[in-house]
Structure 1
Amino acid sequence: MTSSFNIHDAAGYEQLMGRWSRKLAPPFIDFAGLADGERVLDVGCGTGSLTFVLARNAALGEIDAIDYSPVFVEEATRRNADPRIRIRQADACALPFEDGAFDRALALLVLHFVPEAGKAVAEMRRVVRSGGVVAAAVWDHLGGMPGMRMMVDTVAGLGEAGRQLRSRYCFQPMMQPGEMKRTFAEQGLADVAETELMIRMDYQNFDDYWAPIAAGEGPLGKYVAMLDAAERARTDAAMRDAYEAGRPDGPRSFASVAWACRALVP
């Protein structure tokens, strides 16, 4: 298994995370850099959040995108109208490309869902030419995602299963300060730079926040889907209370931080 991300429906993923990935893509691209005529690889493209933002750069030569999930590949392919973009199903730990085929390999919000994240970084390094760039970003689940911590902290207060979810969620691969930077260096990449990227996740109301999780999308949705009826009702009520925080239901805004690393292939 090369991805621990739980996905059932592309529309549900868009509400859960795709819309926020699109907001994060521009600052990530600014950090990773681009140059005219380059061939770029998007590793773990999802529904195309990064892929299609890359395509706004008319001077790029080619864009290849891969994802492990057939649901994502089908949706990204359906959305694609750019002849420079090629999308296929593939494993981040066994990329189906020749050595040095790309100028840059980018992975946005992917490596923390790859159990063998170091192997994925090694593959990104392999398929990028000497002097090219490897870059990735992952959410800081422990200290930089208050909107999601609100859920895991709430369910942790409801029982042992919730505490186990919190432990898994907060300590996924590549999330601790310096962890991704060390992994890049261990895989032979040079001039490794690390930074933080921030966006805001703005929700219209509780349903806008909770609906995709309640429908079973993502790792938090997977937890909710396993609850029995009584636990589910208790969790729904506790989450509404946490979201509303004693005020009427309505808009809420959460700052969300991602770690990002960029490095050169020697």
Structure 2
Amino acid sequence: MTSSFNVQSAAGYEQLMGRWSRQLAPPFIDFAGVADGERVLDVGCGTGSLTFALPHAADISEITAIDFSPVFVEATIKANSDPRIEVQQADACALPFADASFDRAMALLVLHFVPESGKAVAEMRRVVRPGGVVAAAVWDHFGGMPGMRMVLDVAAMLDGNAEQVRSRYCFQPMMRPGEMMQSFVSNGLADVRQTSLLIRMDYQSFADFWEPIAAGEGPLGKYVGSLDAGMRTKLDAAIRAAYEAGQPDGPRSFAAVAWACRGIVPS
């Protein structure tokens, strides 16, 4: 499996997205459910937003966290002090676990970066016991991420090449309405339910918003890093103007919406 997420450093990811995935983890857990004594698999743990939130929600028996990126695996291992948590590098499309090994498999902000996302859902279903739960959440890049869309919409006005980047970003796997739910159903999960989860992304300044993207983190950072010096200067100025919106630089808050889906492995 490959991942379309561009990773430069764990610290850069934290500034770009980790702080927001930590906010999203508790409502995602509330929707997905978790119970005392369960064995839980965190698929695509990143820097541990979901992994480290789970023990606060229930008295978990064990948590196995996997990620495709060695950068994330190293960072999560370093941050971990809970003996119930084990972190390892693995492929979401070929999970190295026996059938029915877990009570729940959960994926927070991962499946839209997995090109074969349906295969990842099938693997999550395979490793969860009958009666157990598979759950996932992905950002709604098309309509639910106005801060990121602001960057791409401005870029598309300045650079014709950005139109294709915007299209790929807005319609990554599992992002169309009902797409993730249909994948859960087609992979044999029962009692499938979908909802949307809302948080806010609060930035202290334009630098707080722009620095990780400018440094090359994530899919937008990969695009920005590909620009020549002239276009980069134009884009930096235009994004700053859009962020500030005619007012002095300072705090801004953008809503952020994720699609969430859960289903039960049939008995």
Could you say which TM-score interval applies, normalised by the shorter chain? over 0.9
Q: CA-atom RMSD, angstroms?
A: 0.7
Find the residue that maps to 1:55 and give its secondary structure: helix
Partner of 1:126 in structure 2? 126
Partner of 1:17 in structure 2? 17
Q: 1:3, 1:113 within 8 Å by CA — same for their partners in 2?
A: yes
Q: Deviations over 1:169-218 (max 9, x none)?
A: 00100001100000000000000000000000000010000000000000
Matches within 5 A, 1:1-266: 1-57=1-57, 59-266=59-266
The number of aligned residues is 266
Q: 2:28, 2:137 within 8 Å by CA — same for their partners in 1?
A: yes
Question: Which stretches in structure 2 are left out of the alignment for 5+ residues?
Answer: none
Q: Which amino acid aligns with 1:7?
A: V
Q: Deviations over 1:67-92 (max 9, x none)?
A: 00000000000000000000000000
Deviation at 1:2, TM superposition (A): 2.5
Q: Which amino acid aligns with 1:189?
A: L
Q: Deviations over 1:149-185 (max 9, x none)?
A: 1101010111211111111100100001100000000
Q: 1:44, 1:67 within 8 Å by CA — same for their partners in 2?
A: yes
Q: 2:34, 2:58 within 8 Å by CA — same for their partners in 1?
A: no
Percent of matched pairs sharing the same residue: 74
Deviation at 1:57, TM superposition (A): 3.7
Q: Deviations over 1:91-135 (max 9, x none)?
A: 000001010000000000000000000000000000000000000
Q: 2:35, 2:58 within 8 Å by CA — same for their partners in 1?
A: no
Find the residue that maps to 1:137 and give its secondary structure: strand
Find the residue that maps to 1:263 and give its secondary structure: strand
Find the residue that maps to 2:236 and give its secondary structure: helix
Q: 1:112, 1:174 within 8 Å by CA — same for their partners in 2?
A: yes
Distance, in Å, in 2 between the alignment partners of 1:128 and 1:142 is: 31
Give TM-score, length-normalised by structure 2: 0.99
Distance, in Å, in 1 between the alignment partners of 2:181 and 2:217 is: 29
Distance, in Å, in 1 between the alignment partners of 2:20 and 2:128 is: 27
Find the residue that maps to 2:158 and give its secondary structure: coil
Give TM-score, length-normalised by structure 1: 0.99
Deviation at 1:44, TM superposition (A): 0.1
Q: Which amino acid aligns with 1:177?
A: P
Distance, in Å, in 2 between the alignment partners of 1:119 and 1:225 is: 31
> Which moved further from structure 2: 74-83 or 52-61?
52-61
Distance, in Å, in 2 between the alignment partners of 1:76 and 1:63 is: 13
Distance, in Å, in 1 between the alignment partners of 2:196 and 2:2 is: 26
Distance, in Å, in 2 between the alignment partners of 1:2 and 1:122 is: 17
Question: Which stretches in structure 1 are left out of the alignment for 5+ residues?
Answer: none
Q: Deviations over 1:21-69 (max 9, x none)?
A: 0000000000000111000000000000100001224511000000000
Find the residue that maps to 1:157 and give its secondary structure: helix
